[in-house]
Structure 1
């Protein structure tokens, strides 16, 4: 048996294309987008809700939320104990979009007429 083979007979090969920083950035962008979409409806959600909704790991959800908090897009709200729906165990972290974070504008380019409406 060579050094590249395990006792089970599997051959271990080095990864042909190690992850690059662009791959890492793309994954973080995908994760951030998933969390923002889950928060978009405006209702506060717990970290567990975000994990269930996005399919991301607990560590990824909390890392992305920490990044979004530091950039001012998201705020950590009062926990379930303070909010009143806590019963036992560690109170869940709750997150929500910051209303003061900015404005989102969507633009659709089309040859068809588009009715415009002003939202207040």
Structure 2
């Protein structure tokens, strides 16, 4: 019975570590596609700083086990990016939920402007 519990716990930790890796990779990719001037406008360090921090967090999550201390620091950095930096960058750069933004008028239909006839 104890072997089954240990095996189940190890399996859970395996999936949690993959989840942390995916979370940190998503943050890294999101930081990479944001514009450099948005970081300065939001007053949130700069783009290379966040790319280095999030890249190290992803590498640590990939190479180290979840029970080490460094993946926890990487998780904290990733959470800070998603909770604090990313919303500020989205507000500054205008990237909302309706991305990609449409460039037409609000009265445009799917095949061109709507004239109301």
User: Which gives a bigger RCO, structure 1 or 2 (Cα 8 Å, sep 6+)?
Assistant: 2
Q: 1 or 2, which has the higher strand percentage?
A: 1
Mark the structure with the bigger radius of gyration: 1
The two structures have a TM-score, normalised by structure 1, of: 0.27
The two structures have a TM-score, normalised by structure 2, of: 0.27
Q: 1 or 2, which has the higher helix percentage?
A: 2
